[in-house]
Amino acid sequence: MANKNLEEKKAFQDYYADDYSHCFGCGRLNENGFKLKSYWDGDESVCHFSPKEYYTGGKKDIVYGGLIAALMDCHGAATAAAAKARELGDEIVQGEIPRFVTAYLRVDYLLPTPIGNELELRGRVKEISGRKVFIEADIIAKQKVCAKGDMLFIQIKE
């Protein structure tokens, strides 16, 4: 399979060009950010994240809904980049992975997400159509899908 590097070791975000690595959510050069890391796990992409205790929603025992949306966006954009790279089939070199912007993000909140746990994000590629990549993702806490994401990302032109 092509892009073995993408499947293993390095995260999708580790391949972003420096100029595109400042995202608060997942930029490796953002010293204040979350530095989210996304990887392939078979046909799905996966990312793990444990929010700090103050990322609460209105009530003290649940995760802030805004954070849920933010995690979806970063993991979704990274999955879009990796999926496009995989489609292109070439070995991906640092800085040469396609980069995407979010066109839309929809999050359906199914259950309150309990805080104090590691969250698992699982992404799936719904469709790749030229520069458009449609991604869906789940956020899982304590083995339950608490939120579902539906996203469209557009590849940035060179």
Residues that bind a copy of itself (CB under 8 A): 16, 19-25, 27, 30-33, 52, 54-60, 64-67, 69-71, 73-74, 77, 99, 101-109, 112
89 is written with which tokens?
A: 């089939």
Q: Of the two residues 60 and 157, which places its CB atom closer to a copy of itself in the complex?
A: 60
Quick one: 105 or 133, whose CB is closer to a copy of itself?
Answer: 105
Q: How far is the CB of 144 from a copy of itself (least distance, A)?
A: 16
Phi, psi for 20 (deg, rounded to 5): -110, 25
Report the alpha-carbon angle 48-45-77, nearest 5.
90
Identify which of residues 20 and 122 has a Cβ nearer to a copy of itself in the complex.
20
Question: Nearer to a copy of itself by C-beta: 69 or 128?
Answer: 69
Which conformational region is residue 35 in: left (phi greater than 0), alpha (psi within -120 to 50 degrees), or beta? left
The nearer residue to a copy of itself, 86 or 99, going by C-beta atoms, is: 99
C-beta of 108: minimal distance to a copy of itself in Å?
5
Tell me the residue type at 52: K
Bridge-based pairing state of the strands 44-49 and 119-129: antiparallel
Q: In the complex, what is the shortest distance from the CB of residue 40 to a copy of itself, in angstroms, rounded to a whole number?
A: 20
In this structure, how many other beta carbons lie within 10 angstroms of the beta carbon of residue 84?
A: 21
| Shortest Å distance, C-beta 42 to a copy of itself | 26
Q: What is the torsional sign of CA 20, 27, 61, 115?
A: positive
Please enumerate in sequence order all residues whose Cβ is within 8 A of that of 70, keeping only pairs 6 or more positions apart, or say none. Answer: 25
Q: Least separation, in Å, of the C-beta of 143 and a copy of itself?
A: 21
